[in-house]
Structure 1
Amino acid sequence: MTHPVDLIRAVPLGTRMTVRRRIPGGFSDALGELIARSDDDCTVETRRGPVTIPLSEVSAAKQVPPPPPRRAPRRPPA
């Protein structure tokens, strides 16, 4: 099994992934595109904006498929 930090370092920038980090009282996930990484942290572009995660706090990471296409809006009953 690949260590999560090794996966973050190996995938190309722009890869859609989820990164789980340890926070006080539990865990937090960031889902989006990996847009930057350094020796100390990585940045994931989420729907709410970029999230920078220290690699020392990463507990899990994996690539995820693209989001499903948006559904057509519902039409009001006639």
Structure 2
Amino acid sequence: MAARLVITISVADIGARITTRRRVPGGFRDAVGVLESWEGGVLRIRKRDGTLVEISEETLVAGRVVPAAPPRPEPM
């Protein structure tokens, strides 16, 4: 059975943690993080490492809200 790609995110999800899949040359690319903004056809997602990913909504093939990231283990 093939996976179904669905976009269930919207501007109303700004501030939520999301996962996305977008088309890039040669395939697809995923990004997970907090949706910081969605303006002018561009989504801005802040990843866990602090980097900001900008995605054109024209390339978006899947997206959904996901639960908060699990806490990182304490250094020993």
TM-score, L = length of structure 1: 0.77
The one of 51, 54, 72 aligned to 1:52: 54
Following TM superposition, by how much is the alpha carbon of 1:70 offset from its aligned partner in structure 2, in angstroms? 1.7
Following TM superposition, by how much is the alpha carbon of 1:66 offset from its aligned partner in structure 2, in angstroms? 0.7
Does the Cα contact within 8 Å between 2:42 and 2:54 map onto a contact in 1?
yes
TM-score, L = length of structure 2: 0.79
Following TM superposition, by how much is the alpha carbon of 1:34 offset from its aligned partner in structure 2, in angstroms? 0.1
Query: Structure 2: 5+ residue runs without aligned partners?
Result: 1-5
Query: Structure 1: 5+ residue runs without aligned partners?
Result: none
SS in 1 for 2:10: helix
Deviations 1:18-57 (A, max 9, x none): 1110001110011100001024111101125111100000
Q: Show structure 1 runs of 4+ deviating over 3 A.
A: none
Name the counterpart of 1:35: 36
Greater Rg over alpha carbons, structure = 1
Name the counterpart of 2:63: 61
SS in 1 for 2:21: strand
